[in-house]
Chains A and B, each alone.
Chain A
């Protein structure tokens, strides 16, 4: 998805409208962007290919290469998911030293990708290294002396300071198999690595460790890393424990566990609101944070590109305001908000505007509890927000929240709450629904954390009327039984929907093409689309059952028509006949008389044969076509043509 870049000048208008939005966010001056540095160790053990494995599929990549592959994957993903975020890759412990604009001679750090929003070239170079081994002989050579952590930390701080100023999130991921990189150094009173790490933390950056252990060896964080990795009592309420070491038994396994470890930390957690009062009852309030765990991602919008210079660049748009009547430029202070009323405007002063929108302060206020069954399937209107308790505001929030969560799960109930997400925001009635822990066997949603969800309930204004429906034709038990066989045969794995299995084909294709264009690769021909049903498997497993079902359906249909015929004869006229089934099957079909929506099939046929369809008025044509589900747009001749085609196929 496109994170709305709030400090982007192009967005000023929207921003002003939602002036008070960030009221609940403490570090409001920070940009909602993330900068991520991968620091990957290069050493003999990190470059050692894994022991030979029986498994043919097993990967023979070294730990360093695996880590690079992982970084490559993350880089590609993030270009899609967070196009404004920065990524850098630093190798440490290399023979060669390469750093930019900072004097760190012999630091044995190699800045493979500078900290920036990745460019196509960065992706290309990285791909060259991990897939073709381009430059590996030169770059992936360990230095004689052990890696210097102090140098690494200095370089990282420098990168964060200069490349990513004012970013809301700045993180260093260290991937290493060495649990004691400073073994040679004395822990003297002015222990440098700890001071350097403190600098990084005080600059508002975090360090995370992704340890790798070979065979049975243990990775002991207390030797070194516990001194440079921080524990924040405030933040850790909403953060799980640290990452377990990835084992390098065989390559594939290592890549998988490293990728899953890193993926679990990959997206910086951004609360969409924090310190939100959650009023469980009058006089009992706790505080929660909200997260957009479910968020629609769409391709970034197109932009304008300036091609005249040597390197194409994106032109940045600026908006000037003009008065429509006189086309004169209007200053910001002149602009007022008004509502269209008929063809005129109705105007309110700023204070009045504010008071119209005022429905109270941001809150989640429980107004009662309901049986979960009262939450109708169709009562859905937009995505839900996940909430998690925070002691930040009310001490005791977590235990009260947990008690509520357990009660709702136990009794299959939901809360109903009045929710205003931000100052001057619109109120929404929400159901408060508990989610089960991922470890819980009953959970069908293993990828979702345990907690509560604010599920918006539609207003009656949001509910639409359905189309007019005639008399229901209902299935018979025999027919339903046939269908049951089909349904039972085609369960998705585990009987649950797992989104992870279905990447968005349109989104993936968009970026795949862009990537190919940007990297000057061959444009792929065929998109991968996991959402297309597995037709062959369906056919193999259910072909027979579907045929049976179809047979029974025809029989039942025959009976229905028989009954109708009798009834019709009884009532002399006003017959009503279905269209023949898709596959023509010799059943005699009677045509219905002109019903309220126009002409019967027989009449159409007659007119078609006689070539008098064109004699019908457009209204008659539309009526006849509408009742047959045909598109009714276009000129008369289009309509006639379309209807003729239909008659050929159907009547």
Chain B
């Protein structure tokens, strides 16, 4: 069970807190509140009913606290309870944000506020188990009464409250990192600091500066998760139920690594007017002028089911979910499985953890790991198990071996194979394990050799080939890799480079902490833009600068020897000369159709020459084999007119496919044809020919010219990004990326025509 918490923040709202110091443009209060808001919003985000927060203001204009009205309530003036102890919600956060404002007074005793906070906590928590905390944030500019310090400290200690005092502009820190020696410090302040420090020392509290606290916020907080047990029972070698001499050890297995979840975004819609609940606005005091956070409602999915029915309009018919049976697909055959047989395809297993055999450490590669790690330890308070497991751990360690084991974590669960490795520390031993791949999990993808080249003719080349590193390149690479070693690049406390750089402990998950940061920020400051990403999350995005500087000459040498060039290899620079429009086509970085580069028969047969034979020439593209014939027609085109003609014919063929398509049957085919057409238009730099087709095609589609509602097809085209060719994709295009996107998006015919009038 999560611990219960009661935390009271005491905030100094004196008029002096409105000033700005140390070159900041924020007031001292706003600055200090950065820390407090962060803490409070973390509580809100956790949404725990047992985490209670109270807030007291000191040096407030008014006085509003229970002690003031009591007998002898002297010294409690200008102290207000801004929020009673209780769970934090977004609503109370909004209300609080409004009441935390600097006042016009400098009177109010911080020590009295502490006494008040202690009272509040005691009353609230009674004698129950709570984590009790008081956090005081002040600039220490107002007189405080130190007469009862000893008693108060005693009381704080007795109640088990942890007191933290955070001074705005602390002075006792000569530490260069945080210390601002305040030259014009007032006498009162000096005195107050001494009093507060004394109090903190007497009740074993914490004393620090806001600057320090804020800098701590930068280091992301790692949420600790309770150990999760994945298995407990016997670890066996052999089968104890059959063979007397089988080994069995009582063990427990826990997660060692497990992907921390990044808060997911939910899909929401704005609440409709009628459903907005007016009662959600708190008491009404001071809420005027507060812009309410837009109110959202979650989005649910409702699923409907359709089956093919040639007689139904559109070829599909709705069916009721309740009339459907459950089953699986075997190939394209639907295999129905009745409710009672539902587990028939599940393998029957019993909980077990059994060693299959042993392998050598050096014969295993970590990139075979299928996922996160678990740790296996002996059952608690079981000396026999601990001793036996220890002998296995040490044996594996001595023999530099790993164990392969089969584990079924619960009856009926799928069996898994895991690899167990020994781990020994002075006060701790365990077996770590990672999941192993099964036969089906490893794909057989053949790749050519890296250290030798086999030519088309079947000869093996091991040196002097553009794909093989020269000796000089290899040497330069060796030197560079050695120079960039970070095995001990991180500085230790003494500033010597002895620690591993980028060790796991130092790696914070950027997406996780970034999202938490912006959510908290947005909840606290709804009107402010999102803050920049903290540097600590981007620390490992680039190599350490000082190391790069050190390795500079090795890197320059490597770059020189590598002589890598951006762009794609081009065996023959292509010059396409067109009779009507003579242009030099520059070899493009990604052009796919450079002549020397395109696929050819292994024999080297001149296929272009073959296609140019009169009997192979295709004036008309046949709709049956439109794609190859279109490509070939363009490939051997002599002039622009030929290409234009090919594009025109292809367009007509595509329109034919769509018109004839029964429901969405031929949409994939249409998409493929459009894709080929677009690619070709880009490769041969005729974006306008394609764009003209596309604009015309879409307007016909929207007007229903292709027989019925074909919008689904447009959706498809858009989703696979087959809209207009913009000037990013092909330079000669007159369409900007924004225009292309707009044309893709709009489904309204009139709007569409307006967009495309000048294309």
Interface hits, B165-220 → A, CB 8 Å: 220
Establish whether residues B628 and A199, one from each chain, have CB atoms under 8 Å apart when the complex forms.
Answer: yes
Q: With A and B bound together, what is the CA distance between A554 and B419 in angstroms? A: 28
Residue A51 CB within 8 A of the other chain: no
Residue A634 CB within 8 A of the other chain: no
Between-chain CB contacts (< 8 Å), 5 pairs: A227-B605, A315-B306, A317-B304, A337-B268, A486-B395
Q: With A and B bound together, what is the CA distance between A340 and B520 in angstroms? A: 11
**From B329, B337, B675, contact of A314 by CB (8 A):** B329
Chain A positions 323 through 343: 1 when the CB is less than 8 Å from some CB of chain B, otherwise 0: 111101010001111111111
Establish whether residues A366 and B47, one from each chain, have CB atoms under 8 Å apart when the complex forms.
Answer: no
Establish whether residues A444 and B364, one from each chain, have CB atoms under 8 Å apart when the complex forms.
Answer: yes
Contact partners of A557 in chain B: CB under 8 A: 383-384, 387
The 4 closest A-B pairs by CB, nearest first: A578-B383, A444-B363, A368-B486, A202-B628
Establish whether residues B504 and A497, one from each chain, have CB atoms under 8 Å apart when the complex forms.
Answer: no
Given A402-B469, A509-B345, decide whether A321 and B301 contact each other with a Cβ distance below 8 A: yes
Establish whether residues A458 and B448, one from each chain, have CB atoms under 8 Å apart when the complex forms.
Answer: no
Contact partners of B372 in chain A: CB under 8 A: 380-382, 458, 462
Establish whether residues B559 and A284, one from each chain, have CB atoms under 8 Å apart when the complex forms.
Answer: yes
Residue B615 CB within 8 A of the other chain: yes
Given A294-B442, A324-B298, A460-B508, decide whether A546 and B245 contact each other with a Cβ distance below 8 A: yes
CB closest chain-A residue, reference B617:
A190
**From B255, B301, B331, B605, contact of A79 by CB (8 A):** B331
Q: With A and B bound together, what is the CA distance between A368 and B490 in angstroms? A: 12
Residue B157 CB within 8 A of the other chain: no
Given A295-B441, A461-B223, decide whether A492 and B404 contact each other with a Cβ distance below 8 A: yes
Residue A148 CB within 8 A of the other chain: no
Q: With A and B bound together, what is the CA distance between A352 and B708 in angstroms? A: 39
Given A464-B227, A557-B383, decide whether A406 and B485 contact each other with a Cβ distance below 8 A: no
Q: With A and B bound together, what is the CA distance between A629 and B233 in angstroms? A: 8
Establish whether residues A191 and B254, one from each chain, have CB atoms under 8 Å apart when the complex forms.
Answer: no
Contact partners of B316 in chain A: CB under 8 A: 316
Given A320-B301, A337-B265, decide whether A499 and B625 contact each other with a Cβ distance below 8 A: no
Given A408-B481, A461-B222, A523-B344, decide whether A318 and B303 contact each other with a Cβ distance below 8 A: yes
Establish whether residues A293 and B442, one from each chain, have CB atoms under 8 Å apart when the complex forms.
Answer: yes
**From B47, B419, B601, contact of A197 by CB (8 A):** B601
Residue A451 CB within 8 A of the other chain: yes
Contact partners of A184 in chain B: CB under 8 A: none
Contact partners of B263 in chain A: CB under 8 A: 339-340
CB closest chain-A residue, reference B467:
A398
Q: Looking at the assembled complex, report how far the CB atom of A414 sits from the nearest CB atom of chain B, in whole angstroms.
A: 9
Residue A292 CB within 8 A of the other chain: yes
Q: How many A-B residue pairs have CB under 8 A?
A: 875
Establish whether residues A315 and B381, one from each chain, have CB atoms under 8 Å apart when the complex forms.
Answer: no
Establish whether residues B360 and A560, one from each chain, have CB atoms under 8 Å apart when the complex forms.
Answer: no
Establish whether residues B441 and A296, one from each chain, have CB atoms under 8 Å apart when the complex forms.
Answer: yes
Residue A646 CB within 8 A of the other chain: no
Given A346-B523, A450-B450, A470-B380, decide whether A455 and B366 contact each other with a Cβ distance below 8 A: yes
Contact partners of B428 in chain A: CB under 8 A: 469, 472
Establish whether residues B474 and A407, one from each chain, have CB atoms under 8 Å apart when the complex forms.
Answer: yes
Establish whether residues A487 and B395, one from each chain, have CB atoms under 8 Å apart when the complex forms.
Answer: yes
Q: Looking at the assembled complex, report how far the CB atom of B534 sits from the nearest CB atom of chain A, in whole angstroms.
A: 12
Q: With A and B bound together, what is the CA distance between A455 and B373 in angstroms? A: 14
Contact partners of B401 in chain A: CB under 8 A: 487
Establish whether residues B370 and A294, one from each chain, have CB atoms under 8 Å apart when the complex forms.
Answer: yes
Given A309-B307, A427-B511, decide whether A402 and B334 contact each other with a Cβ distance below 8 A: no
CB closest chain-A residue, reference B453:
A398
Residue A122 CB within 8 A of the other chain: yes
Residue A265 CB within 8 A of the other chain: yes
**From B239, B470, B515, contact of A339 by CB (8 A):** B515
Q: With A and B bound together, what is the CA distance between A325 and B273 in angstroms? A: 12
Establish whether residues A203 and B439, one from each chain, have CB atoms under 8 Å apart when the complex forms.
Answer: no
Contact partners of A300 in chain B: CB under 8 A: 328-329
**From A312, A348, A374, A523, contact of B518 by CB (8 A):** A348
**From B259, B268, B520, contact of A336 by CB (8 A):** B268
Interface hits, B312-326 → A, CB 8 Å: 316, 319, 321, 323-326
Question: Which interface residue of A233, A299, A315 has the most chain B CB atoms within 10 A?
Answer: A315
Interface hits, A391-422 → B, CB 8 Å: 391-408, 410-411, 413, 416, 418
Contact partners of B468 in chain A: CB under 8 A: 399, 402
Establish whether residues B337 and A517, one from each chain, have CB atoms under 8 Å apart when the complex forms.
Answer: yes
Contact partners of B509 in chain A: CB under 8 A: 459-462
Given A369-B484, A461-B512, decide whether A549 and B721 contact each other with a Cβ distance below 8 A: no
Given A233-B599, A514-B345, decide whether A318 and B306 contact each other with a Cβ distance below 8 A: yes
Interface hits, A507-553 → B, CB 8 Å: 507, 509-511, 513-515, 517-518, 523, 527, 529, 531-533, 535, 538-539, 542-544, 546-547, 549-550, 553
Interface hits, B332-351 → A, CB 8 Å: 332-337, 344-348
Establish whether residues B296 and A338, one from each chain, have CB atoms under 8 Å apart when the complex forms.
Answer: yes
Chain B positions 430 through 456: 1 when the CB is less than 8 Å from some CB of chain A, otherwise 0: 101010111111111111111100101
Residue B21 CB within 8 A of the other chain: no
Establish whether residues A161 and B624, one from each chain, have CB atoms under 8 Å apart when the complex forms.
Answer: yes
Contact partners of A504 in chain B: CB under 8 A: 414, 438-441
Residue A586 CB within 8 A of the other chain: no
Establish whether residues A380 and B294, one from each chain, have CB atoms under 8 Å apart when the complex forms.
Answer: no
Interface hits, A578-597 → B, CB 8 Å: 578-582, 592, 595, 597
Q: Looking at the assembled complex, report how far the CB atom of B111 sits from the nearest CB atom of chain A, in whole angstroms.
A: 33
Establish whether residues A505 and B415, one from each chain, have CB atoms under 8 Å apart when the complex forms.
Answer: yes
Q: Majority SS of interface residues in chain B? A: mixed
Given A464-B225, A484-B399, decide whether A346 and B307 contact each other with a Cβ distance below 8 A: no
Residue A473 CB within 8 A of the other chain: yes
Residue A304 CB within 8 A of the other chain: yes
Establish whether residues A480 and B245, one from each chain, have CB atoms under 8 Å apart when the complex forms.
Answer: no
Residue B247 CB within 8 A of the other chain: yes
Q: With A and B bound together, what is the CA distance between A482 and B390 in angstroms? A: 12
Interface hits, B479-523 → A, CB 8 Å: 480-482, 484-487, 489, 500-502, 504-515, 518-520, 522-523
Chain B positions 586 through 612: 1 when the CB is less than 8 Å from some CB of chain A, otherwise 0: 000110100001111111010100110
Residue A215 CB within 8 A of the other chain: no
Given A29-B671, A31-B668, decide whether A307 and B487 contact each other with a Cβ distance below 8 A: no
CB closest chain-B residue, reference A396:
B564
Establish whether residues B522 and A348, one from each chain, have CB atoms under 8 Å apart when the complex forms.
Answer: yes
Establish whether residues A378 and B481, one from each chain, have CB atoms under 8 Å apart when the complex forms.
Answer: no
Establish whether residues A553 and B458, one from each chain, have CB atoms under 8 Å apart when the complex forms.
Answer: no
Could you say which of A40-48, A111-119, A172-180, A566-574 contacts chain B? A111-119
Q: Looking at the assembled complex, report how far the CB atom of B543 sits from the nearest CB atom of chain A, in whole angstroms.
A: 4
Establish whether residues B331 and A122, one from each chain, have CB atoms under 8 Å apart when the complex forms.
Answer: yes
Q: With A and B bound together, what is the CA distance between A444 and B356 in angstroms? A: 18
Q: With A and B bound together, what is the CA distance between A397 and B559 in angstroms? A: 12
Residue B727 CB within 8 A of the other chain: no
Question: Which interface residue of A1, A230, A377 has the most chain B CB atoms within 10 A?
Answer: A377
Q: With A and B bound together, what is the CA distance between A199 and B250 in angstroms? A: 66
Residue B88 CB within 8 A of the other chain: yes
Establish whether residues B88 and A342, one from each chain, have CB atoms under 8 Å apart when the complex forms.
Answer: yes
Residue B371 CB within 8 A of the other chain: yes
Establish whether residues A502 and B417, one from each chain, have CB atoms under 8 Å apart when the complex forms.
Answer: yes
**From A315, A353, A368, A472, contact of B501 by CB (8 A):** A368
Contact partners of A4 in chain B: CB under 8 A: none
**From B265, B346, B671, contact of A338 by CB (8 A):** B265
Q: With A and B bound together, what is the CA distance between A325 and B316 in angstroms? A: 31
Q: With A and B bound together, what is the CA distance between A359 and B534 in angstroms? A: 12
Q: With A and B bound together, what is the CA distance between A308 and B336 in angstroms? A: 12
Establish whether residues B484 and A492, one from each chain, have CB atoms under 8 Å apart when the complex forms.
Answer: no
Given A304-B325, A306-B307, A342-B88, decide whether A529 and B437 contact each other with a Cβ distance below 8 A: no
Q: Looking at the assembled complex, report how far the CB atom of B432 sits from the nearest CB atom of chain A, in whole angstroms.
A: 4
CB closest chain-A residue, reference B407:
A531
CB closest chain-A residue, reference B712:
A9
CB closest chain-B residue, reference A359:
B510
Given A241-B448, A323-B297, A461-B223, decide whether A378 and B245 contact each other with a Cβ distance below 8 A: no
Q: Looking at the assembled complex, report how far the CB atom of A12 sits from the nearest CB atom of chain B, in whole angstroms.
A: 8
